[in-house]
Structure 1
Amino acid sequence: MTILERIQELARKKDKNLKEISLELGFSKNYLYSLKTQAPSSDKLAKIADYFKVSTDYLLGRTDDKTSLSPKEMTDIGQLADRMLDGLESENSVNFYGEPMSDEDKAALKAALLVALEMNKKRSKKD
């Protein structure tokens, strides 16, 4: 899959077209379409990856894992929790040990994560 194809797939999941996303990112309206024949700069690639919450490696086709983390991110439990919260807030199905979670279970897990994050933020400020 090309960069453009991956971006198109991600855009469909957000129910947006490439022109809308280009403008939201501050690019020219046809910028994303230009990726059919041109490679993006590293800063624009990073901006696109951040927008879709995927890795640049995924966009470049180096991995099929959309959420691969850098070594720095792997050690930051806060970022992992943020990604979990994003997943819980999405409309997509969420599984827990292979079993689908109900909306009530998702809400309970989200509340627990938010409490834990807040406690850890307060503790880290005291240190």
Structure 2
Amino acid sequence: MTLLSRTKEIAKSRGISMESLAKQVGISKSGIYQWDKHEPKPSTVKKVATVLNVSTDYLLGKSENIDSFSNPDSDEASGLGQSIMMAFDGKDIPDEDKEKLLEFARFLKSQRGR
């Protein structure tokens, strides 16, 4: 399975359109469809993996482990890690705003008793 086919498959299973994925990653939709001809930058693959919440190795066909993190109880696995890429409307969120969002997410998590 190719990078493009894996990306399309997981995006569909997550209910994310290719257009939405491209916008979140900051590339063109047609750029994604060129991956069968031209390999994307590693930074682009990492962003796609982050948006889809899968490992880069899975996207690249190096692993059948779809999980993006090995410890499901860690902050990173729940999307609360400091190094997570965050974007809104196709633009990166500034670091100071990321911290505020992470604090709010941690608060919500604590309210649910997790």
Q: TM-score, normalised by structure 2?
A: 0.61
- Give the 3-state SS of the residue equivalent to 2:113 in structure 1: helix
- Deviation per CA, 1:23-42: give whole Å up to 9, x if none: 23210231110111111111
Cα pair 1:19 1:32 within 8 Å, conserved? no
Aligned partner of 1:11 in structure 2 is: 11
Q: Assess if the C-alpha contact under 8 Å between 1:53 and 1:67 holds in 2.
A: yes
CA distance in 2: counterparts of 1:29 and 1:112, whole angstroms: 39
Distance 2:41 2:59 in 1: 13
Question: C-alpha deviations, 1:65-106, integer Å up to 9, x for none?
Answer: 111537xxx5x83324x16xxxxxxxxxxxxxxxxxxxxxxx
Would you say the 8 A contact 1:18–1:33 is kept in 2?
A: no
Task: Indicate the percent of aligned positions where both proteins have the same amino acid.
Answer: 29
Equivalent position of 1:111 in the other structure: 112
Please state if 1:78 is matched with 2:79.
no
Looking at structure 2, the residues matched to 53 and 112 of structure 1 have their Cα atoms a distance apart, in angstroms, of: 23
Quick check: which has more Rg, 1 or 2? 1
Change (3 A) 1:25 1:17: same
Structure 1 contact 4–35 (Cα < 8 Å) conserved: yes
Distance 1:65 1:79 in 2: 17
SS in structure 1 opposite 2:46?
helix
Distance in 1 between the 2:47 and 2:9 partners?
17
Structure 2 partner of 1:34:
34
Which runs of 5 or more residues in structure 2 are unaligned?
80-110
Q: How many residues align?
A: 82
Q: Output the CA distance in 2 between the equivalents of 1:77 and 1:19.
A: 30
State the AA in 2 paired with 1:65. Answer: N
